[in-house]
Amino acid sequence: MTSCRICQGVVQEFFDFGRQPLSDAFRRPEDSSEEFFYRLAVGVCEQCTMVQLMEEVPRERMFRADYPYHSSMSSVMRDHFTRTAHQLLAAGGQGEDPFVVEIGCNDGVMLKTVAEQGVRHLGVDPSRDVAELAAGKGVRVQIDFFQESTATAIRATDGPADVIYAANTICHIPYLDSVFRGVDALLAPDGIFVFEDPYLGDIVERTSFDQIYDEHFYLFSASSVRATARRFGFELVDVERLPVHGGEVRYTIGREGRREPAAAVDALIAEERKRQIVDITILENFAVEVKRNCEALTTLLAQLREQGHTVAAYGATAKSATVANYCDIGPDLVPAVFDS
């Protein structure tokens, strides 16, 4: 891919992690011949500043029926989503018969609280197993990918949504144009579209290269989100820094002219400009730090092995796939990984 998925501008590649497997596909040794590989490389659009992957993995390969990640597994995230549900209802669910839609509801951890408040809701998720877990919690769920056609159908049966929410989902979707057209079709005139995803500023500052993998097609900044929202008649009206998942930002988007943007929006964009987080030189320096960190990690692991120590890993996360494969960390350095 050489053109931006958002604005068709030129995308300048700044790092190539090489050949990588799917991050959430845990193959048995006897099934290794079925492993799917792709080139994991990342670039920045010279026009709209959106940071994005250079190659798209088919969505059906990533978000399949047996998708292994369950949001409810973490007590930290359970608490986070309970708070989030109450915040969303306070911000956009106070009208008569409010309707809340979640894109990528996973196992229903957030919508469970919405359902318990007696609020009309719908979760949309393409992965059958997690959708069935959500349904088991009393959450109304539709097994599907969210796009313009999905949103139009929901509007026809349920009416407009007062709140559309997504957590760690919007950055997964290369076809953002269809998502925003879907939000446009479904969102009530004064409704809000709220989503939270890993923040480019934190990734660059902390050299968090493990945030770059197949599912994270976009690495958002406030600047790139505002530019994208405006292309579809929306405005970025609020931002909130979040400590979860290594540093995220929650973006609140409304229809143009309907809500006054909070001061936090201009403040974060000004900070991004000062730090130049989408400048190609800064991103190329980030790439240098990635290589340096990888070398330091493998050197440390080799030294520990030579000293007679055994290193085991806890948590077979999607993020760890990038680290293990790019840094070539195999069973000689880490013989075991433990996860539920």
pLDDT for 34 beyond 90: no
pLDDT for 36 beyond 70: yes
Task: Name the pLDDT band for 116 (thresholds 50, 70, 90).
Answer: very high
**Percent of residues, the chain, with pLDDT higher than 70:** 100
d(CA 285, CA 204): 9
78 burial type by CB count under 10 A (0-12 exposed, 13-18 middle, 19+ buried):
middle
Residue 1: the pLDDT is: 61
pTM of the model: 0.95
Task: Name the pLDDT band for 59 (thresholds 50, 70, 90).
Answer: confident
| Structure-token pair, residue 279 | 């400048």
E-strand ranges in 286-340 read: 312-314, 336-338
| Partner residues linked to 197 by β-bridges | 249
Topology classification of domain 71-280: Rossmann fold (3.40.50)
Decide: 73 and 317 in contact? Cβ < 8 Å. Answer: no
Residues 197-216 have a mean pLDDT of: 98
Residues 130-138 have a mean pLDDT of: 96
Residues 267-295 have a mean pLDDT of: 98
Residues 46-55 have a mean pLDDT of: 97
Residue spans of the domains in the chain: they are: 11-56, 71-280
Task: Name the pLDDT band for 31 (thresholds 50, 70, 90).
Answer: confident
